[in-house]
Amino acid sequence: MKLLKISILTAIVLSNSCLRAASAEAAAPEYNLPAADSSAARNESEDQDRPVLRIGDLSVGMREFSERLNFAPALREFSTDLERKQDLLASIIAGKILSDYASKRGFDTLLNVKRTLSQYEKEAVYENWMQKEITDKVNITPGELAEAYPRFREERVVDYLVFPDENSAMKASGEIKKGKKPGSFKTKDGKPLLETKEIEFGEALPKVEELVYSLKKGQTSGVVPVDGKYYIFNLRKAVPHPKYSLQSLSYWTPEIEKILRERKTVSEFKNVMPRLMEQRKFTINKKVYSFVLNALSSKLEFSEKAKLPEALNQELKDMPSDISGSLREPFMKFQDGSLWTVGDFWDKLRFGPYLLNYRSKKEFEDDFSYLIRTVVITETVMSDGYKKGCNKSAYVKEQTRMWKDDLLSKIYLHELGRETEISEDEMKNWYSGNPSMFRLPDLCRIREIIVGDEKLAQSLSMRIKQGEDIEKLAAGYSSQAPRGSESPEGIAVARNTWGKLGETAFSMKPGEVSAPIKLDDNKFAVIKLLGFETGRLKTLDEARQDIHAQMLKEKLHLQIQEIITGSLGNYKIYISKDNLKEVELIKGSMLLRKSHFPNRSAVPMAIDINHEEKWFQDLWNRQRD
């Protein structure tokens, strides 16, 4: 039930008032966005916090250091919190020095780098505008919290029907009123159309939630339009929430306030945007609309399997040859007299924070008008942010500087790697001097079936022992796709890497079938051993890629240390150990995405610099608070 949930993950999600290439003017959209989380822009009054680190003209305050510490995963295991903090300090210092080296070599003047740096600033301006113009204006009263609590502590189970058009939905609604059961509706291939969903407070779109919570048990709703589809709901039951019903309002106030704040933020955004968009109505050049759509489709990689969003926009770095001659063609004209060329729009998608991880070409084509609107509204907010001086805020300056140092330092590291040579003799010497690194373990080859019931696993084990084909049985019964099914040799299993399954496999004889192996409470495996492979050393050719990567890493490490130790004397460096102590480390940190831009990390990933390096330890020991 995807469209019922608050799936507004980008800064803007529009209603289904889609633009068509044949239409002359875009219809006015509905504007939605999520509330900012901890990665969003901060209040100006909070920007000036105490420094943890100063190096040259760079000052890193406690808030920025805390975010960089907790919004990204650690690169290694640490014995103490202080070691983790020291690693980040070393990484920031190294990043600043490498960034300055990149600037000296002119990398910051490269066109694509300048565009990327400009985009970083624009996105920070967007976040700051959202904070000042939207989030800061939202207030939640005690009365609103008390009113929301009864819904919050309850869970509603609904059956629902979804129809692609209003006529079929209205027809079904009429039939239900005449006595037809919702469960009797079928799809074209005879499958039940009725689905069931448990709805929690704050999970559904507000208009859906209002409807669902107004229904009595067994009552069926009328037709509800949601994002171009048409729903009919029936309340099966209302039950106490298994978690939220166990505590009082005061206990759950932060959770309820978060939900209400998100909704009021959306409402505030809807109120503000029509004024901004008055002069941003636009027309599309119908002659190039399909041309641009097809050109983009030819570059994007469509897959049912989710991909990392950051990598996708890079697919647009190389334009198809047939579009390169049309970059100056007008693509969109705005009511205020401005226009975007084909090249402008292409670059906005390439460098911008727009999710392009579509599952199919058709999904992209159906969503293209929505994507255009998203770009227009995002750019409009950014433009208004500049008019209001958001680019001069401490937050925007901090974000732009942080991401600039990250980009330039990593470009410089990339160039160092590209310029570093590794000879064939060096690789041979490395190979012969590190044989333990290239030893392949003993393996056994198996076929497997994984099911959720022990009795079924016992039955399948007996059938295989009696001669039935394990692959055919796996195709019919396995609860997950059989691993290694595409390989005639089966799955390769090492003794110490597959837990109980690996132990069992190595205790069997070739051709033997196992009894059910309990993997967890609801998962049982049956395996057939196909054979064993004795461990061996990789050949040089097999190990070549691994050797090159390891040698490059070591050579780069030596070059980085040389650069840093040779540059430290050029910087005044101050570390506040007292302020560092006050920064709290949250255990189990994971990479956090920006609330407005889910294909952007909240903070950069740290450069891999170990705090145990001599240069850092010497620097640390010299610091006095």
Q: Which 3-state string (H, E, C) describes 175-190? A: HHHCCCCHHHCECCCC
CB 366 within 8 A of CB 302: no
pTM: 0.76
Is it the case that residue 10 has pLDDT exceeding 60? Answer: no
**Mean local confidence (pLDDT), 166-184:** 93
- Domain annotation covers residue 194: yes
Q: What proportion of the chain, given as a percentage, has pLDDT over 90?
A: 68
Of 1-5, 257-261, 448-452, minimum mean pLDDT range:
1-5
Domain boundary among 534, 569, 604: 534
State which of 272, 291, 307 marks the end of a domain: 272
Instruction: Please say if the pLDDT value at position 5 is more than 60.
Output: no
In this structure, is residue 257 part of a structural domain?
Answer: yes
Residue 146: count other Cβ atoms within 10 Å of its Cβ. 12
Reference 500, options 514, 490, 479, 488; nearest CA is 514
Cα–Cα–Cα angle for 215, 221, 226, nearest 5°? 110
Question: 220: which 2 tokens?
Answer: 């069926």
The predicted pLDDT at position 484 comes to 52
Contact between residue 490 and residue 445 where contact means Cβ atoms under 8 Å apart: yes
Query: What is the pLDDT at residue 34?
Result: 36
The pLDDT-based confidence of 487 (bands split at 50, 70, 90) is low
Distance in angstroms (rounded) separating the CA atoms of residues 440 and 533: 10
pLDDT at 553 over 80: yes
Question: Is residue 559's pLDDT more than 90?
Answer: yes
Higher pLDDT, 497 or 357: 357
The total number of structural domains that make up the chain: 2
What is the rounded CA–CA span in Å between residue 499 and residue 254?
41
How confident is the prediction for the chain on average, in pLDDT?
Answer: 87
pLDDT of 591 > 90? The answer is no
pLDDT tens for 89-142 read 999 999 999 999 999 999 999 999 999 999 999 999 999 999 999 999 999 999
Torsion, Cα 150 155 161 163, to 10 degrees, reads 60
Asked, for residue 251, whether it belongs to a domain, the answer is yes
User: Residue 34, SS3?
Assistant: coil
**C-alpha span between 420 and 427 (Å, rounded):** 14
Query: What is the pLDDT confidence band of residue 616, given thresholds at 50, 70 and 90?
Result: very high
Number of C-beta neighbours around residue 532 at 10 A: 14
Residue 2 has pLDDT above 70, yes or no: no
Q: How confident is the model at residue 47 (pLDDT cuts 50, 70, 90)?
A: very low
In angstroms, the CA 503 to CA 493 distance is 10
Mean pLDDT is highest, among 26-30, 491-495, 603-607, for 603-607
pLDDT digits 0-9 by tens, 247-288 = 999 999 999 999 999 999 988 998 999 999 988 999 999 999
Q: State yes or no: pLDDT of 317 exceeds 70.
A: yes
Dihedral sign computed on CA atoms, order 146, 152, 158, 162 = positive
| Domain assignment of residue 176, given as a range | 142-272
Going by C-alpha positions, the residue among 397, 509, 375, 421 that lies closest to residue 121 is 397
What's the pLDDT score for residue 497? 76
Report the first-to-last Cα separation within the chain, whole angstroms.
57
pLDDT, average across residues 296-310: 74
Higher pLDDT, 315 or 367: 367
Helix 286-299 with 361-387: angle, nearest 10 deg = 110
Residues 6+ apart with CB under 8 A from 510: 529, 530, 531, 532
Amino acid at the residue 171:
K
Q: Under a CB-based contact definition with an 8 Å cutoff, are residues 234 and 220 in contact?
A: yes
**pLDDT at site 483:** 64
Three-state DSSP at 343 gives helix
229 in a domain, yes or no? yes
Q: What phi and psi values does residue 518 have, to the nearest 5 degrees?
A: -80, 115
Per residue in 472-483, pLDDT tens? 898 888 877 656
Q: Return the minimum-mean-pLDDT range out of 2-6, 296-300, 542-546.
A: 2-6
For tokens 């609103």, the residue is 144
Q: What is the sign of the dihedral through the CA atoms of 107, 108, 111 and 113?
A: positive
pLDDT > 70 fraction of the chain, expressed in percent and rounded: 89
> Is pLDDT at 1 greater than 80 in this prediction?
no
- H or E stretch at 530: strand 523-533
The whole-number pLDDT of residue 272 equals 92
- 563: pLDDT strictly greater than 60: yes
Give me the amino acid identity at 558: L
Contact 1, 195 (CB under 8 A): yes
Is position 85 within any domain?
Answer: no
Q: Rounded to whole angstroms, what are the CA distances from 188 to 45, 183, 193, 388, 568? A: 60, 15, 9, 55, 72
Instruction: Using the 3D structure, point to which of 513, 534, 555 is the last residue of a domain.
Output: 534
Q: What is the CA radius of gyration of the chain?
A: 29
The answer on pLDDT for 624 being more than 80 is: no
Query: What mean pLDDT do residues 584-596 have?
Result: 84
- Tell me, yes or no, whether 420 lies in a domain: no
Average pLDDT over residues 10-16: 30
- Pairwise CA distance, residues 406 & 353, whole Å: 17
The CATH number of the domain where 164 resides is what?
A: 3.10.50.40
Residue 191 placed within a domain: yes
**The pLDDT of residue 176 is above 70:** yes
Distance CA 254, CA 612 (A): 41
Q: Report if residue 625 sits inside a domain.
A: no
Q: How do 195-200 and 154-163 pair as beta strands?
A: antiparallel
Instruction: Please write the tens of the pLDDT for every residue from 391-423.
Output: 999 999 999 999 999 999 999 999 999 999 999
Whether the CB-CB separation of 154 and 413 falls below 8 Å is answered with: no
> Per-residue confidence at 350, pLDDT binned at 50, 70, 90?
very high
pLDDT at 474: 87
Average pLDDT, integer, range 16-31 = 34
Task: Locate 336 and state its tokens.
Answer: 């205020």
